[in-house]
Chain A
Amino acid sequence: MPKREAGARRPLPQAKEPMGPDALRDVRIVDLSWIVAGPTCTRVLADFGAQVIKVEYEGAPDYIRGSPPFVEDQPGVNRSGFFNNLNRNKLGITLNVRHPRGMELLRELIAISDVVVENFSSRVMEERWGLGYEEQRKLRPDIIYCALSGFGHSGRHRDYTTWGPTAQAHSGVTFMSGLPDHEPAGWGFSYMDHTAGYQAAIAILMALHHRQRTGQGQWIDLSQVEGGVAITGTAILDYAVNGRPYRRVGDRADHPQVAPHNAYRCLGQVIVGEGQHDGRWCVIACFNEEQWCALCRVIGEPHLATDPRFATNADRLRHQDELDVLIEGWTRTLPPREVMERCQQAGVPSGMVQNARDKVGDDPQLRARGFFPEVDHPEIGRFKYEGVPAKLSVTPGKVLRSSPVLGQHNEYIYREVLGFGAEELEQMMVEGVI
């Protein structure tokens, strides 16, 4: 158990940019990551004020700069909305690691930084770039080095690579999504890129606390597949303890086993994709008798509460098919937000299936919480961004800047931070170093 003691404190460094009270203003991060997982990690830290220096090169820009959606559907290295949302608040520099002088610059950057983040496959940093943890320590003894890879940096498959969907499949989270009598529905996006990014941010923040107290940095080896297994709920224990393999349940209750618990079709349609129609849906779940009785009143069938088919949770589980038909008979007559609001007002857990349009246009909660801030981008103009879901009372996360255009902060980082003169900078550009 911890005792109160004054740990060795590092001196409070000066803010590197005048950005107000940001919790992580003393943290400088060399961000070698790209695509989604690593950039999610550094976005989280940048939103709270860390100085994230995103390293790219004209011949090797972040892959997501080439990924849609683009402004006005016109591709361009600074025009991807996907990239802009993911890399806001970061500083961007160009640096050619294939040029010996470029590699020297990278080493200089590491020497003045607190954290290095990368999500390459496991051989790149150590074997190709000669920048494994031991080498980084020589440059900066208390460096925190977070390596985010698919299979981790040890084990027989350490050279295998993943994207989000691979990690989802291989860890079990794809399998756990879908209807019992069909193939897995899986995930409609790279969930494990988000999650591995969050897990990496958590790990880095824990390592920063340890460094604050002891002055010691460390190497964090994070595997995206392991990240998936870590969030399969009780599936591993149910097998390890009870020998029970996982079975899909659709939208019905897994655990706790309760009914009703499903997604119900509501009134109306929406346009998705480029003209396809999709239905409207609302989730309803009752976890106790009180909620069940309230639902019976909401759907105008109070007698169901005393119907022997539905008298207890066990009865309702047995007669779920009939129950779902009865509930859907009501939900089909109303738009989903009305279904949700009537249920919630009666104390029944319920949520409409919202798409992006619903969230931005019609969700009064997200609007009231200011969840879609807008900032200007130097080339593409003013757009909305996703907000920061944890509101800190003293040091709130902020969206202050768009993503950097390629090389936007070369001048600031190379001249003001690393101290090069204008001529040297010019020379490095001419020689293809930056």
Chain B
Amino acid sequence: MSALEDLAVLDLTDEKGQLMGKLLADMGAYVVKVEPPGGDPARRTGPFAGDGEGRERSLYWWQFNTSKRSVTLDITRQEGQKLLQRLANRADILLESFQPGYLDSLGLGYEALSALNPRLVYTSLTGFGQTGPYRDFLTSDVVALAMGGTMASCGYDDVTDAPPIAPRGYHGYSIGCHWGLIGTLVALHHRDQTGRGQRVDASVHEAVSCTTEAAMPWYFYQRKVPMRQTGRHHAVRPTPKNQLPAADGKFIMAWAVPRTPRHWESLIGWLAQHGEERELVENPHIREVFLSAERGAPEEVHRVWAAIARMIAKLPSDEVFHEAQKRGYPWGIVRPPEEVLADPHFQERGFFVPVEHPEDGRAYLYPRAPYVFSQTPWRIRRRAPHVGEDNREVYIEWLGLAPEELEALRSQGVV
């Protein structure tokens, strides 16, 4: 049984919104990706399987469109608009990410579609929202991370002239999609209770703007702006470096040692095994400051971290990671993403799942969602669809078009 198996979703989003539909589809919703007849523009985003460009080879498309159905439909034409209205009449949710006002201009805005289907939850995810002076601004992933404040907090404090950094992986879009989907599911909950749909106006800019942890409170409460620091939290007062190279060249994220006497003793014990405890033991003041310092980082704390850094530099990263975790410190290894594939822990959790690609005669490993549901398992139903792969199923079997009708639309270039 799937959690969302009763739901039908129309997905009209571009690159920035496709994660929303994927998350619904992988939990069982019937998600129909509506593409222009030539294929969705996201199919032109690389990297490409085998590095050969082609609309069925985009890994961006593969990643963000699993489990979805695909239909082609030219919504700029009147016949296409009529067909989309019929689809919307059958749907529970519509997801779109066009510039504000575009779908209204085609007669496919919220007012028009909700008049046909009052139960519809209609979600628009745009760069800046449907209203306000920047509503027509163009966004992109880095634009979102710049405007929302991510970049102001990420970068280097020890590299001359380094710019603020936009972390990669489409996080601006991810944050926007997570929020767009939260709004959608909240609206769905309300509809489940009342039978009434509504409009969700989600702004990537606002989503990113509330995803910078303490940066906003620092300004709200003290009118201060934290500064960027290499590999660690932004801060108002400089803190010791805790991204530290191990003997094998990998970095350890030595995030923190809990400030309890028990953890202090364990730290000293570990440092002693590698001859780095002396400076800390000889000066009892250091212990006291380390255990009490809640704010800022006095000189004593910097000395503790210097000792930790020297020890880490002598050891392989794996040894540091496991030993630290056994001692109760929440440390990790700064790993390239692909290294997780070989991690036995995540293999044991079934985190990477094979998805068949019949055209390639093989399956590829995809990451699952981070949640394991006990009753309604997450599952990729199928690899991302080819352009218009499901026209027949969606239009004839689901919507109830006659085969001749579909053929006529096809010959007119509407689908």
Contacts and interface: CB of A to CB of B under 8 A. Distances in A.
A150 interface: yes
A152 B365 CA distance: 20
A233 interface: yes
B163 A281 contact: yes
A211 to B, nearest CB: 9
Given A191-B213, A209-B3, A360-B220, 17 more contacts: A7-B6, A155-B346, A163-B255, A169-B333, A176-B337, A184-B251, A202-B181, A209-B7, A209-B185, A219-B374, A229-B340, A236-B338, A245-B336, A256-B45, A344-B134, A365-B133, A389-B203
Nearest to B139: A349
Nearest to A202: B181
B198 to A, nearest CB: 4
A198 interface: yes
Interface string B157-176: 00100111111111100110
B90 to A, nearest CB: 8
A411 interface: no
B213 A36 contact: yes
A347 to B, nearest CB: 7
B202 A390 contact: yes
Interface stretch (B236-244, B277-285, B301-309): B236-244
Contact of B44 (A244, A256, A347, A384): A256
A392 interface: yes
Contact of B60 (A150, A222, A255, A354): A255
A230 B368 contact: yes
Interface in A165-199: 165-179, 182-191, 193-196, 198-199
Given A23-B189, A162-B330, A188-B153, A224 B370 contact: yes
A366 B206 contact: yes
Interface stretch (B79-87, B140-148, B266-274): B140-148
Contact of A236 (B164, B181, B366): B366
A69 interface: yes
B365 A236 contact: yes
A387 interface: yes
A172 B188 CA distance: 33
Given A165-B233, A283-B143, A349-B138, A182 B159 contact: yes
Contacts of A36: 213
Q: Most chain-B Cβ atoms within 10 A of its Cβ — which of A23, A195, A272, A281?
A: A23
The 9 closest A-B pairs by CB, nearest first: A172-B337, A390-B183, A188-B153, A177-B167, A81-B221, A169-B253, A389-B206, A356-B219, A351-B143
A157 B325 contact: yes
Interface in B216-230: 216-230
A242 B189 contact: no
Q: How large is the interface on B (under 10, 10 to 19, 20 to 34, 35 or more residues)?
A: 35 or more
A206 B248 CA distance: 43
Contacts of A369: 129, 131-132, 203, 206
Among B139, B213, B222, which residue has the most Cβ atoms of chain A within 10 A?
Answer: B213
Given A237-B63, A237-B364, A205 B186 contact: yes
A1 B397 contact: yes
A300 B226 CA distance: 35
Interface string B1-23: 10111111000000000000001
Of A218, A350, A356, which is in contact with the most chain B CB atoms at under 10 Å from its CB?
A: A356
A330 interface: no
B345 A242 contact: no
Nearest to B211: A194
Contacts, number: 555
A69 B337 contact: no
A188 B183 contact: no
Contacts of A208: 189
Nearest to A248: B168
A366 B375 contact: no
B201 A230 contact: no
A231 B209 CA distance: 18
A216 B134 CA distance: 44
Contacts of A366: 205-206, 209
B155 interface: yes
Nearest to A23: B190
Interface string B371-415: 111111000000000000000010001100000000000000000
Interface string A75-97: 10000011011000000000000
A274 B296 CA distance: 12
11 contacts: A68-B218, A133-B374, A172-B339, A185-B154, A185-B228, A188-B154, A220-B373, A222-B372, A255-B45, A349-B143, A355-B215
Contact of A231 (B133, B171, B243): B171
Given A188-B154, A351-B144, A156 B255 contact: no
Interface stretch (B46-54, B70-78, B101-109): B46-54
Contact of B169 (A5, A27, A231, A287): A231
A195 B373 CA distance: 18
A129 interface: no
A235 to B, nearest CB: 4
A5 B185 CA distance: 19
B232 A165 contact: yes
A178 B60 CA distance: 21
B178 A210 contact: no
Interface in A349-402: 349-357, 359-360, 363-366, 368-369, 371, 383-387, 389-395, 397
A407 to B, nearest CB: 22
